[in-house]
Amino acid sequence: MKRFLGGLVFMLVFALAITTVSTSISATSANKGVTPQSVLESYLQAVKEQNVDKIMSYVIDERDLTVADYKEMMSYEKLNNYEVVKSETLSDGTHYYVVNSSYEGGLVKDVPLEVKKVGTEWKVNINTDTLSSDDNKTLQQGSDQYYENAFSIIENQDPVMKTMDVLMWWDFSKRQGGKTFYSNSKFSVPGIHKYVILGIDTQLSTKPNNTGINYAVVRKGVLGDTVWGTKYVKGHFMGENKRIKLNGNTMTFKGANLRFIPNAPGVYAGIGGLDW
């Protein structure tokens, strides 16, 4: 009886070892063809197909966007074609790409993206570095009428232009330096000239000597932001009502948010309004 039990235990241990090895080989085989660029290509194809579930499975987006946000972005930014035009290995676990992308409505832009190793998987990583990279370039703006129509059907969309000469207000506190965030409301550049005015009343941080924010007028998209114009403002002040010109590349720009990228380190607060 003891010999029988001993033999049974040996067979179970052997079977378990074989199963473990088999599972490991299967997992290795399944991952053998997966590369950072193949993951990027799969992500881009999912964006083109507007498959939100697949998009979410491939991406880490530091903009803290929801599924509803992705669906809204794809309602006005529909990817038609893409091509990887630059590839660079930053480290064993991080690869950097620039993707030339074209969209319904005529928008064409270069978009920088990272692919990063997370555990045993590669993920497309949209972060402050890619959002603010000089490789992010709008090559063709696209049709104003296309975006006018697209935004007119989005529920709860702010008016294209407010009745007063202030496009939007901001008032934030406890924002972490080095992390991108956006205005709560959307607006559109009204078509008067190629600039808007940052009316900044307050810009403070817990690191006064390092206080500074990069302000940008952007339209959020699945691959990253379409940037109309940017302005870096350095300084630690309150109640000064500074008026600073932020230049853009066209006279109109629909469905925009104001993007804030504050210097790291520090915790930030700010109050202001965007005039035209």
1 compared with 98, residue with greater pLDDT: 98
Reported as a single tens digit per residue, the pLDDT across 190-220 is 888 999 999 999 999 999 999 999 999 999 9
Which pLDDT score, from 0 to 100, does residue 154 have? 65
What is the structure's pLDDT at 21? Answer: 42
**Token couple for 75:** 């309602």
pTM of the shown model: 0.84
Dump pLDDT digits (tens) for 174-184: 999 999 999 99
How many Å apart are CA 87 and CA 69, to the nearest integer? 28
The tokens for 51 are 């498959």
- Of 40 and 3, the one with more pLDDT: 40
pLDDT of residue 264: 96
Three-state SS for the chain is CHHHHHHHHHHHHHHHHHHHHHHHHHHHHHHHCCCHHHHHHHHHHHHHHCCHHHHHHHEEECCCCCHHHHHHHHHHCCEEEEEEEEEEEEECCEEEEEEEEEECCCCEEEEEEEEEEECCEEEEEECHHHHCCCCCEEEECCCHHHHHHHHHCCCCCCCCCCCCCEEEEEEEEEEECCCCEECCCCEEEECCCCEEEEEEEEEEECCHHHCEEEEEEEEECCCCEEEEEEEEEECCEEEEEEEEEEECCCCEEEEEEEEEEECCCCEEEEEEEEEC
Rg over alpha carbons for the chain, rounded to the nearest Å, is: 24
Cα angle 158, 159, 165; round to 5: 110
* pLDDT tens per residue across span 23-50: 443 344 445 679 999 999 999 999 999 9
Phi, psi of 96 (to 5 degrees): -120, 135
Percent of the chain with pLDDT strictly greater than 70: 84
Neighbouring CB atoms inside 10 A of 240's CB total 11
The pair of structure tokens assigned to 33 is 């063809």
Q: Strand 59-61 relative to strand 121-126: parallel, antiparallel, unpaired? A: parallel
Quick: pLDDT tens for 130-165: 999 999 999 999 998 999 888 887 644 444 444 346
Confidence of residue 16 (pLDDT cuts 50, 70, 90): very low
Which residues does 8 contact at the CB level (< 8 Å), separation at least 6? none
Assess whether pLDDT exceeds 70 at residue 105.
yes
Stated length of the chain? 276
pLDDT tens per residue, range 58-73: 999 999 899 999 999 9
Per-residue confidence at 125, pLDDT binned at 50, 70, 90? very high
Confidence check: pLDDT of 74 > 50:
yes
